[in-house]
Homo-oligomer: A and B are copies of this chain.
Amino acid sequence: MLEADMKSGIKHIVILGAGNVGTHLAWAFREHGFNIAQIVGRSEAAVAALAKDVGADHTTSFSEIKKGHGLYILALPDHAMEEVLPKLGLTNELLVHTSGSMPLENLKAYSENIGVFYPLQTFSRKRKVDFKEIPILLEANSMDNEDRLLDLGKSISNNVRVVDSAQRQSIHIAAVFASNFTNHMYEVARQILDVHKMDFDLLLPLIRETASKAAMLGPAKSQTGPASREDMETIARHLQALGGNPGARELYKRITQNIIDQSVKSDDKL
């Protein structure tokens, strides 16, 4: 028995879902000496490939999962979870989901031992990530289960915290702003440059510095640009130039207004 197994008391892991979260968790647990018993998912190609990667069995039928194993990790979109949960037939196995927004209690009907294991990161299959840095946000229905998940989390990450469902939802919403919406700002910028056949790479030093500066000074003190200077002439010129792109124009107006409303003042300039 490996050390990682002994500490958490978890010997075998079944992963339900072979998407980005399931894939990255399976890789991370395997890398840290856990035994992945089975990969379960809808797509034969995806589950077979991941199962091969981590030396696990696999099935595409959620009613054929192996029972009596240590830990069942649901790495599925929320709506798919609701469909799959009634088919599992678990009783007291430790069942966790990985969702930022689903309350713990949604698992209550499906096992006596339930929890949440939410890794706060944006995953894409094509990019390896370093789990050691990723915050893992835990919740469980008993102190025992919390301890098991804490040990498990600490075996792959240095940043494991217990948060309740309301806190986790707030963190998820904050993550949507800091990651999904930020990425959409990058995408709108890319499209604006594309009109003039200019490359997105031009913005990379700026994007890197914006992220680093917010980390160092905090975002309130880092705010620069026409909105934070209330430079209404430049704002008007920009809105006019965005006339042919109503989606971007509307976003520009709305976000600029929000920056001005908050009076995030700074003597810094873009």
What residues make up the interface of A, taking CB atoms closer than 8 Å to B? 19-21, 77-79, 100-101, 120-127, 129, 133-135, 159, 163, 166-167, 169-190, 192-193, 195-196, 198, 200-211, 213-229, 231, 233-234, 237-238, 241-242, 247-248, 250-252, 254-255, 258-259, 261-262, 264, 266-270
Contacts and interface: CB of A to CB of B under 8 A. Distances in A.
B185 A181 contact: yes
A125 B255 CA distance: 25
A186 to B, nearest CB: 4
Contacts of A121: 205-206, 209, 270
Contact of A219 (B183, B224, B258): B183
20 contacts: A20-B268, A79-B231, A101-B234, A121-B205, A121-B206, A122-B210, A122-B222, A166-B196, A170-B241, A171-B193, A177-B248, A177-B252, A180-B224, A180-B225, A183-B224, A184-B258, A184-B259, A185-B185, A247-B258, A250-B258
The count of identical subunits is: 2
Given A79-B233, A186-B219, A258-B251, A100 B202 contact: no
Given A123-B268, A180-B224, A233-B78, A170 B196 contact: yes
A203 B175 contact: yes
Q: Classify the interface of chain A: helix, strand, loop or mixed.
A: helix
Given A178-B186, A179-B203, 13 more contacts: A77-B231, A133-B205, A166-B196, A169-B237, A170-B195, A174-B188, A174-B190, A174-B203, A179-B206, A180-B270, A183-B219, A187-B264, A247-B258
Nearest to A234: B101
B219 A127 contact: no
